[in-house]
Amino acid sequence: MFFSKMHGLGNDFIVYDNILSLSIDWNQLAKKCCDRHLGIGADGILIVEKSDVADIKMRIINSDGSNAEMCGNGIRCFAKYVYEKNIVNKENFNIETGAGIKNVKLDVKDNKVLSVKVDMGIPCFEKSKIPFNSDMDNKNYEIEINNKKYNLTTLLLGVPHTVVYVDEIDEKEVIEVGKIIENLEIFPKRTNVNFVQIIDYNTIKVRTWERGAGMTLACGTGTCASAVACYINNKTDKNVTAKLFAGDLKVYYEDDNIIMEGPAQFICEGVYLNIL
């Protein structure tokens, strides 16, 4: 099966065109092809499908085979893919996702997508929708892990996100603590965990432990959730630059909507032979 491998600031995906609606166990395929030793290697797969309610439909499956409703870096890769493969011939179009319909606007030069601006929607703090099973205030609460206290914010932005405020990001801490927070009982559907370091009032640094994928180099929805959390807790301005491992992501908080802008790139293309 033909594939394209892409990345959004280091968050990498394998993209498959399923416009013909092939009968494949995509969840099992994701587990196999995302394996970085025995497969192609990626954080997840993106599947292009027809939509009855938007211009195109994006299905996302994590590297562990679990479904994801939405992915910020993934949707930028997806938008670039469907435009440059002539599946969608518009620079402003709508994508059906598991978290609703998302509008994307492309910055195009010489028929190549330079960056993608995505309307990520309105963040939700309603506990039952996240879901967040606790009497604590999910906008600002404290927990203790490994004898250390952490200040957190939890919200829904397509998928559940928990933001952890730290003085300095430590990748070992991201892995060890992120794994624990992801699986706390207060998160019945688990949660993505974003460690945020405040650089200044307009700049943050983010590293994410992603539900179903582990530590990733970037997470678009997580970065947007981090920007929202910092703003509502008076740590930053409404508009911030987020410094990720492989580059910067712009996040704008406009009329309660979150707008994300950043690049996406092709890495390679080929044929995956180990189809189920």
Catalytically active residues, by annotation: 71, 219
Residue recorded with tokens 């599946």 = 87
CA dist 196 and 205 (Å) reads: 6
CA dist 3 and 6 (Å) reads: 10
Neighbour-count burial for 112-135, b at 16+ CB within 10 Å, e otherwise: ebeebbbbbbebebebeebebeee
Q: What's the half-sphere exposure (Cβ side, CA atoms, 13 Å) at 81?
A: 31
Would you call 208 helix, strand, or coil by DSSP?
A: strand
Task: Kindly tell me the sign of the dihedral angle through the C-alpha atoms of 138, 239, 46, 90.
Answer: positive
Q: Write out the DSSP string of 57-89.
A: EEEEEETTS-EES--HHHHHHHHHHHHHTTSS-
CA dist 76 and 271 (Å) reads: 23
Would you call 205 helix, strand, or coil by DSSP?
A: strand
Strand partners, 243: 205, 248
